[in-house]
Amino acid sequence: MDKLRILLPKGRIFDNLARLFAEAGFPLYLADRTYRPVVAADWLEIKLMKPQNVGELLELGSHDAGFTGLDWIRENGAETEEILDLGLDRVRVVAAVPSGLDDRALRAKKLVAATEYVNLASAWLSASGYDYRILRTYGATEVFPPDDADMIIDNTSSGQTLRDNGLRIIATLLESSTRFVASRAAMADQEKRSRIEELAMLFKAVLAGREMVMLEMNVSKAAFQPLVAGLPAMRSPTVAPLFGDEGFAVKIAVKKSEVPDIIPRLKKLGAGDILEYDLRKVVC
């Protein structure tokens, strides 16, 4: 089979994806000033590109799969197949204006909207009934108002950068996160489709593992039934008899967010020698 050709985005998204690949079993090595990371799998070939280009390159068929934000898939109208929402690098694409500018003033003029999202912005501004002109930007969009633009349409995670620049959000156009996507040609090829789905399974297992921990404890025979009845678990706990018929060893996988509540409860129910450890992957 030919190598599976994958695109990874340059910039802030890359670090999260490099960690994801490593935890899935495919560590990456990227030398300075190179665009082709070395990956620990002879059937994978990886290239770095700007996230804005990933969807269109997949549609053209020069690569099989890749990672980019939903915002750039929608902006470019790229025809790709979404395999998995990784939930990483969550942002909102928002419209923001100077804090002192009200909506009546915006609608009383032909406003200038600065944005990298030309297509998303045009569709929203038209649907919202504004008279507008788009000013295409190439980064640092938040610096344009109030001198050079009346509005910006940009992505934000917390909104703090917008507030720091005297801007207020008036609408959310899109909520975005990093997606694992594939070309339609690759998904029509049975071997490539199988490889892509295997990768997706491993990525999903890693992401699930990040949300879970394993709790292991000992419990006496007398306390066993009440404790088991009060356990949260993915399905059911793993139970093994202790040496000398002294009771049971119990293991459960729980969400990390549940741990502060559940450990005191387990102690009250008679559990002892409680251990907590991380999970690397959870395959359901």
Q: What pLDDT is attached to residue 196?
A: 97
Count the neighbouring beta carbons within 10 Å of the beta carbon of residue 77.
10
Q: What pLDDT is attached to residue 233?
A: 61
Q: Is residue 283 part of a domain?
A: no
Q: pTM score, two decimals?
A: 0.86
Total domains, the chain: 3
Q: How open is the CA angle 191-71-150, to the nearest 5 degrees?
A: 165
Which helix (H) or strand (E) covers residue 250, if one does? strand 248-255
Backbone angles phi, psi at 276, to 5 degrees: -125, 130
Domain interval for residue 198: 4-88+177-209
Q: What pLDDT is attached to residue 49?
A: 93
- For the chain, the maximum distance between any two Cα atoms, rounded to a whole number of angstroms, is 84
Question: What distance in Å separates the CA atoms of residue 85 and residue 66, rounded to the nearest whole number?
Answer: 12
Q: What pLDDT is attached to residue 12?
A: 81
Q: Are residues 199 and 67 in the same domain?
A: yes
Written as one string, the DSSP assignment of 26-76 is --EE--TT-SS-EES-TTEEEEEE-HHHHHHHHHHTS-SEEEEEHHHHHHH
Buried b (16+ CB within 10 A) or exposed e, 226-259: ebbeebeeeeebeeeeeeeeebbbbebbbeeeee
Q: Under a CB-based contact definition with an 8 Å cutoff, are residues 151 and 107 in contact?
A: no
Provide the CATH number for the domain around residue 99: 3.40.190.10
Question: What distance in Å separates the CA atoms of residue 144 and residue 258, rounded to the nearest whole number?
Answer: 45
Count the neighbouring beta carbons within 10 Å of the beta carbon of residue 129.
8
Task: Using DSSP bridges, classify how beta strands 178-182 and 81-85 pair: parallel, antiparallel or unpaired.
Answer: antiparallel
Q: Under a CB-based contact definition with an 8 Å cutoff, are residues 276 and 263 in contact?
A: yes
Q: What pLDDT is attached to residue 235?
A: 61
Q: Are residues 136 and 249 in the same domain?
A: no
User: CA nearest 3: which of 188, 203, 200, 186?
Assistant: 186
Question: What distance in Å separates the CA atoms of residue 133 and residue 122, rounded to the nearest whole number?
Answer: 9
Q: Are residues 77 and 101 in the same domain?
A: no
Q: Is residue 181 part of a domain?
A: yes
Q: Is residue 3 exposed (0-12), middle (13-18) or buried (19+ Cβ within 10 Å)?
A: middle
Of 158, 192, 209, at which residue does a domain stop? 209
Q: Are residues 219 and 100 in the same domain?
A: no
Q: What pLDDT is attached to residue 1?
A: 62
Q: Is residue 284 part of a domain?
A: no
Task: List the chain pLDDT tens, one digit each, 284 residues.
Answer: 689 999 999 878 899 999 999 999 999 988 877 889 999 899 999 999 999 999 999 999 889 999 999 999 999 998 999 999 999 999 999 999 999 888 888 888 899 999 999 999 999 999 999 999 999 999 889 999 999 999 999 999 988 989 999 999 999 999 999 999 999 999 999 999 999 999 999 999 999 999 999 999 999 999 998 888 877 765 678 889 988 778 999 998 889 999 999 999 999 988 999 999 999 988 87
